[in-house]
A and B are shown apart, each in its own frame.
Chain A
Amino acid sequence: AQKVTQAQTEISVVEKEDVTLDCVYETRDTTYYLFWYKQPPSGELVFLIRRNSFDEQNEISGRYSWNFQKSTSSFNFTITASQVVDSAVYFCALIGQGAQKLVFGQGTRLTINP
């Protein structure tokens, strides 16, 4: 069985602080893909990143960075110098190679206060 756990239900920080969203996953597949999506107040989910299980390099995109560690089955997401526009619900997701559907975590609601 596959499972994604986002233990942080809600996080609230002040603008310009750094914030890390945790994602822990479970899978028996040796090949799998991990994702992060952002859901702003408008409701539409926006794709942020896909990472395959053979690529453990950290990824950086502007103020966003992702830390993938197979040893701890984690795929954490860090926002540096947070901004009010980063306020959203963030979802982590997993799919095994050959599987037909993604497994989503429960989401983390991030609020950035001015």
Chain B
Amino acid sequence: DGGITQSPKYLFRKEGQNVTLSCEQNLNHDAMYWYRQDPGQGLRLIYYSQIVNDFQKGDIAEGYSVSREKKESFPLTVTSAQKNPTAFYLCASSIVRPYSSGANVLTFGAGSRLTVL
């Protein structure tokens, strides 16, 4: 079945460590996104990419980095510069063709919960 796979599901990090969250999709979607969700809050966009080897900052990009070397993969690195990284991270993808029936419909992964010890 087509979908998005995020790993790991749970991750613990010590302060000062970088960690990388994996996101893989087999939907042949062009666009991929990373969101952060804090308890009781909505989704905040970290980074997004609409094409391989290109990505843009979202609303809260500081302390995070991404790469898009393959269409299927969009890993997120939470760096030590991120002061409050404990959160639930969601990866999503979508098609880009603007007038298609699926345009802008995001398909989400199951999420990765990061806890800083």
Q: Which residues from chain A sit less than 8 Å from chain B, CB to CB? A: 9, 33, 35, 37, 42-47, 50, 91, 95, 97-98, 100-102, 104-107, 109
Contacts and interface: CB of A to CB of B under 8 A. Distances in A.
Interface of B: 31, 33, 40-43, 45, 48, 50, 56, 58, 88, 90, 92, 98, 103-111, 113
Given A100-B56, A102-B104, A44 B45 contact: no
A44 B104 contact: no
Contact of A43 (B48, B98, B104, B111): B111
Contact of A44 (B33, B43, B58, B108): B108
Contacts of A42: 110
A100 B42 contact: no
Given A97-B98, A100-B50, A101-B33, A45 B45 contact: no
Give the secondary structure class of B's interface: strand
Contacts of B104: 33, 35, 50, 95, 102
A97 B111 CA distance: 28
Sorted nearest first, the 10 A-B pairs with minimum C-beta distance are A45-B108, A106-B42, A43-B111, A44-B110, A104-B43, A104-B42, A95-B104, A107-B42, A44-B108, A47-B105
Contacts of A97: 98
A35 B92 CA distance: 15
A9 to B, nearest CB: 8
